[in-house]
Amino acid sequence: MQFKSYLIFPIIFLFIGCGAFYNQPTGIEKAVIGESTPATSLLKGLPKAKEPIVVGIYKFRDQTGQYKASENGSTFSTAVTQGATSILIKALEDSKWFVPIERENIGNLLQERNLIRSTRQEYTANVDPKAPQISPLLYAGVLLEGGIISYDSNIITGGFGARYFGTGGSVKYRQDRVTIYLRMVSTANGKILKSVYISKTILSQAIDQSLFKYVNFKRLLEVETGYTTNEPIQMAVTEAIEKAVASLVMEGIKDGIWEADVPKEEIDSVMLKYQKENEDADATAIYGRKLTDRRSKFAIEFGSGVTLMDGDYANPLLRPMGRGALKYFLTPSFNLSASTNAINLANKDRFDKWYATFDLNAEFILLPKDKFSPYVFAGGGFGFNKDFENFHTKVQYGLGLEYLVSDRIGIKMYGEHNLNFSDNIDYIKRGVRDDYYYRFGVGLTYYFAKKKDKIQIK
Which residue, 356, 353, 352, is CA-closest to 339? 356
pTM > 0.85? no
Predicted local distance difference test score (pLDDT) of residue 247? 93
Share of the chain above pLDDT 90, in %: 42
pLDDT at 281: 81
Tell me whether residue 1 is exposed, middle or buried, using C-beta atoms within 10 angstroms of its C-beta: 0 to 12, 13 to 18, 19 or more: exposed
- What is the reported pLDDT for 125? 62
The 3-state DSSP class for residue 404 equals: strand
The domain segmentation of the chain, as residue ranges, is: 2-22+37-121+137-282, 298-447
Query: H or E element: which one contains 69?
Result: strand 67-70
Residue 10 has pLDDT above 70, yes or no: no
Per-residue pLDDT of 209-224, as tens digits, reads 888 887 787 788 888 8
Instruction: With CA atoms as reference, report the closest residue to 139 among 176, 109, 118.
Output: 109
Question: What is the spatial distance between Cα 365 and Cα 443, in angstroms, rounded to a whole number?
Answer: 16
Residue 136's pLDDT is 86
CA distances 141 to 56, 95, 145, 240, 246, Å, are 8, 17, 13, 24, 19
**Alpha-carbon span 239 to 420, nearest angstrom:** 62
- The rounded distance, in Å, linking the Cα atoms of 10 and 211 is 8
Give, for 385, the enclosing helix (H) or strand (E): strand 372-385
| Burial readout 307-341 (b: 16 or more C-beta within 10 A, e: otherwise) | bebbbbbeebbebebebebebebeeebebebebeb
410 three-state secondary structure: strand
Q: Which fold is adopted by the domain 298-447?
A: Porin (2.40.160)
Superfamily holding 2-22+37-121+137-282: ABC-type transport auxiliary lipoprotein component (3.40.50.10610)
Mean pLDDT of 121-142: 76
Stretch 308-330: mean pLDDT, rounded? 90
| Coil/strand/helix, residue 212 | strand
Q: Under 8 Å CB-to-CB from 236, ≥6 apart: which residues?
A: 178, 200, 201, 202
H/E segment holding residue 76: strand 73-78
- Angstrom distance (rounded) from CA 101 to CA 179: 25
Rounded to 5°, angle at Cα 418 from 413 and 421: 165
Q: Which residue has the higher pLDDT, 19 or 193?
A: 193
Residue 250: exposed, middle, or buried by beta-carbon count in 10 A (0-12, 13-18, 19+)? Answer: buried
| 214-258 per-position pLDDT tens digit | 778 778 888 888 888 888 999 999 999 999 999 999 999 999 899
Give Dmax (Cα) for the chain: 127
